[in-house]
Structure 1
């Protein structure tokens, strides 16, 4: 007997992910997502999209809140985190597509012939909007891999992905070594050691926060680069469809440089749509900047909620909101001239200062104690168990 027999009924408890619950829980919002992506490419489809969006949002919320893909083991809660994040963006992107009055236009194609199905797939997986008319102002980092052939590009990207895989594992172990009794536990603990004097306490926490920043960078690179390899080799996509996501963020000489150019821009559109645009109508440019970062903070809280439902929202919203405040201060003091070594020091100090708050929120929620996507043995066992059900 399948759970969710009432279709749109909201969940009262989490159920394990099996083949049956995948079909009844995960597949419906994904199908709606595909349908919305196809419709937004066609003229005169907004009425249909308006009817479809509430259904999509309810189905996405139901999947995010009702399914347990961790097999009941807290250390695999990162899978629940990924599920919630995915469903959040399904609801957010389809809402934007619902309000779109004119069809999206794909500017860059490998052939001059239009193919709505291929355009739909590109829109679904192209979070940044590379090659679309809705991505004006998007910064694309310069390519660092050879593009002379698909094989050379894929090989270089695979080597980079394996390097980041190794780096992520090493950094994660290094972070856990700071406090094995708490950071290796699902219960978590603070990065601030009260037994140390203040200067050593914050030096220690800042080192942990910096290591976590590089761990996040490496982890995101792994997922992107391995996806690139598969799409270029198996789907025969061209390398220019997969430009780099990062541009050496540690070289940033301003907060604006970091967040608008050097850090990945995957969710830029959603942050502007959900927070930046509404608050800019009320408070101008300042509201737009703060609004975009507040939505980012809320998303990071949503991902923590899967690990620890008691986690406090301010621990994510405050540091991300202060990134917006920092950018406003930066512009007021230096305009667009922030740069050089003084700009680099300012940027890194502000990032580390509020990074302490954010990483402490992660640590308290038990994020450091969980497994990561690197646990291949677990993934194989999980796939076998899912097939058996």
Structure 2
């Protein structure tokens, strides 16, 4: 029995390492291996196609293990193999976790993935025709076959305003003119602003010794007295958070511009990607409205729904933030610097703190809000949040290349003036 158990254990570890190898054994992404990486995304496309077809529940469940295995391999088996590109390794892992969450949803939703007003995929409620079948929804003209457009829309929608699965997701109101040309101009201006801001912030982070290098370093410089030490760490923390916001905005602006200009989607389909986190007056408001909501469905699948099944509404809140922490930290394994559940703890901590806000409201009859509420949010994010950024910086996050130096106005300008190197 002991020998059998040993063989099973060794075999399981070897099988696991085929899918998720050790960091030093990952496959470098080259022109010859890139097709292998891209092919791993085909199963999720097929699953999304099936999720928009009637009576496919059984085959979706059978396909699920293949999709999950392919997603894990896409995120953890391949690497850019360049220390400066570690952020893209991390991005592949984050994408893999999103794909797995989507695949679980597609497979276990028995009726398939429905749009609002549908009772079966592609069949609007109350629109029966003479032969007893339901009328297909009207589609915009597309150069792609309907099944490709349908699957692509399902895969790429994150907040899903027109989908049943995403109901309850907060979407900020439009702030740009909805006339097409004016919208494109505003989006292009926003993209350029976010690009320049991200470039400035990324360049500033790389000034700090250790922190701005691929080898990594703590944001807390032990050689400094305690007050200057925390002034520096807070500065790095704010620069990092601001860079993330600028990066979110830049990428979303690019997708928005391409979607409207090239694919002719209406401007109304592209509401703001994020609210205004700086003005949040409670943690509940920050995480449910002002922060980006693209990953809300991912966290609910991994933790919110199981948590509710186990412990009701309290389990829903705790499970959602635990899933958020694990999502961010397990993907960081792709950085090749191990696992640090300090990150998991920070995100999980938001659950009890939001419950505390609810208890405050019950005890006092007043919501957390106003200036004191904003101060509370800043205390949590700029105080406790430093443990999160420190963990990432120690593992080389700050040394990663987001904007290539050849495209960086800040670094090109510094190089022209004789400061630093351009690579």
Give the TM-score normalised by the residue count of structure 2. Answer: 0.81
Shift of 1:94: 0.4
Aligned to 1:134, what secondary structure does the other structure show?
A: helix
Aligned partner (choices 170, 174, 190) of residue 139 of structure 1 = 170
2:76–2:92 contact (8 Å) kept in structure 1: no
Write out aligned runs for 1:191-230 (5 A). 191-230=219-258
Name the counterpart of 1:278: 306
* Structure 2: runs of 5+ lacking an equivalent: 1-14, 123-135, 140-145, 409-423
CA distance in 2, matches of 1:248, 1:65: 33
CA distance in 2, matches of 1:194, 1:9: 41
Name the counterpart of 2:35: 23
CA distance in 1, matches of 2:296, 2:20: 31
Aligned to 2:33, what secondary structure does the other structure show?
A: helix
- RCO comparison, higher one (Cα < 8 Å, 6+): 1
1:81–1:304 contact (8 Å) kept in structure 2: yes
214 and 34 in structure 1: CA distance in 2 versus 1, 3 angstrom threshold: same
1:169–1:374 contact (8 Å) kept in structure 2: no
CA distance in 1, matches of 2:49, 2:175: 33
Name the counterpart of 2:265: 237
Name the counterpart of 1:382: none
Aligned partner (choices 64, 68, 75) of residue 57 of structure 1 = 68
CA RMSD in angstroms comes to 2.2
CA distance in 2, matches of 1:11, 1:346: 40
CA distance in 2, matches of 1:184, 1:309: 16
Task: Kindly name which structure, 1 or 2, has the bigger radius of gyration based on alpha carbons.
Answer: 2
CA distance in 1, matches of 2:370, 2:88: 41
Moved more, 199-208 or 284-293: 199-208
CA distance in 1, matches of 2:29, 2:396: 22
2:51–2:107 contact (8 Å) kept in structure 1: yes
Name the counterpart of 2:352: 325
Aligned partner (choices 144, 151, 154) of residue 120 of structure 1 = 151
Write out aligned runs for 1:289-308 (5 A). 289-308=317-336
CA distance in 2, matches of 1:117, 1:307: 34
Name the counterpart of 2:416: none
Name the counterpart of 1:262: 290
2:45–2:155 contact (8 Å) kept in structure 1: yes
Pair 1:82 & 2:91 matched: yes
Shift of 1:251: 0.5
Name the counterpart of 2:11: none
Moved more, 116-125 or 349-358: 116-125
CA distance in 2, matches of 1:225, 1:168: 13
CA distance in 1, matches of 2:246, 2:270: 17
Name the counterpart of 1:164: 194
The one-character-per-residue Cα deviations of 1:260-288 (angstroms, maximum 9, x if unpaired) are 00111001011011101112222222221
144 and 257 in structure 1: CA distance in 2 versus 1, 3 angstrom threshold: same
CA distance in 1, matches of 2:75, 2:374: 39
Name the counterpart of 2:113: 104
The one-character-per-residue Cα deviations of 1:62-95 (angstroms, maximum 9, x if unpaired) are 2222212x2x320111221111111121112101
CA distance in 2, matches of 1:317, 1:211: 21
Shift of 1:124: 1.0
CA distance in 1, matches of 2:253, 2:100: 26
Shift of 1:22: 2.4
Name the counterpart of 1:351: 381
Runs of 4+ with >3 A deviation? 8-12, 114-117, 373-378
Name the counterpart of 2:57: 46
1:165–1:222 contact (8 Å) kept in structure 2: yes
Shift of 1:328: 1.0
The one-character-per-residue Cα deviations of 1:290-324 (angstroms, maximum 9, x if unpaired) are 11111111121133222233242x12101111111
* Structure 1: runs of 5+ lacking an equivalent: 1-5, 379-389
Aligned to 1:183, what secondary structure does the other structure show?
A: coil
2:330–2:339 contact (8 Å) kept in structure 1: no
Name the counterpart of 1:252: 280
Name the counterpart of 1:365: 395
Count of aligned positions:
364
